């Protein structure tokens, strides 16, 4: 692939070691170019206003929280609606993950995931897919769905029961 065809990424995380690790991994693959790494929301907005990027990677230190209704994520989507946001998160709570998608994250990747999963999510998001989640994130969401369904009205159709009468003798 030619350099101008690379997927241009801006990464935002308040942890330098995460930025360095992701940058090293992405740049070792000719498909991606990490065009900018920033540590704060202000730096991120400044970079986004100065240049065009194909995808924004928002690290767990900056993603926001359910308490603030993922305000930074919502502000990014409102201000830069044509640039998809992939959230790189430590979150495992299915409801919080669903809230990130509702806040318009195009993709979510677990920080516990292999870097290849990150690549797949970013590539799908850039191609126009929405609500793309890595395998581990899908597992967190499925586990919550399974827990919810087990508490719902159980279906006993396939259950066979035998009833025996026991008489107590005194």
- How confident is the prediction along the chain (170 residues), in pLDDT tens digits per residue? 444 578 999 999 988 888 888 888 888 878 889 999 999 999 999 999 999 999 999 987 776 555 676 889 999 999 999 999 999 998 999 999 999 999 999 999 998 988 888 889 999 999 999 999 999 999 988 876 655 544 555 555 555 555 555 566 65
Domain that holds residue 132: 3-151
Q: How much is the pTM? A: 0.79
Give the CATH number of the domain where residue 53 resides. 3.40.50.2300
**Domain annotation covers residue 161:** no
Cβ partners under 8 Å of residue 10, min gap 6? 34, 35, 36, 37, 38, 44, 47, 48, 53, 55, 56, 57
**Domain annotation covers residue 166:** no
**Domain annotation covers residue 156:** no
**Domain annotation covers residue 164:** no
Check the CA dihedral 23-27-31-34 and report its sign.
positive
Count of structural domains, the chain: 1
**Domain annotation covers residue 132:** yes
């Amino acid at each position: 692939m030619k350099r101008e065809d690379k997927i241009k990424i801006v990464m935002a995380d308040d942890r330098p070691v995460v930025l360095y690790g992701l940058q090293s991994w992405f740049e070792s693959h000719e498909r991606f170019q990490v065009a900018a790494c920033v540590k704060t929301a202000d730096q991120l907005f400044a970079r986004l206003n100065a240049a065009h990027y194909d995808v924004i990677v928002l690290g767990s230190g900056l993603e926001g929280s359910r308490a603030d209704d993922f305000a930074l994520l919502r502000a990014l989507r409102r201000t830069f609606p044509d640039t998809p946001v992939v959230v790189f998160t430590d979150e495992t709570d299915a409801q919080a993950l669903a809230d990130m998608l509702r806040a318009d994250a195009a993709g979510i990747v677990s920080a516990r995931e292999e870097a290849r999963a990150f690549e797949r999510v970013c590539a799908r998001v850039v191609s126009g897919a929405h609500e793309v989640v890595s395998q581990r994130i899908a597992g967190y969401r499925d586990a919550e769905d399974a827990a919810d369904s087990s508490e719902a009205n159980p279906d006993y159709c396939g259950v066979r029961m035998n009833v025996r009468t026991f008489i107590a003798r005194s």
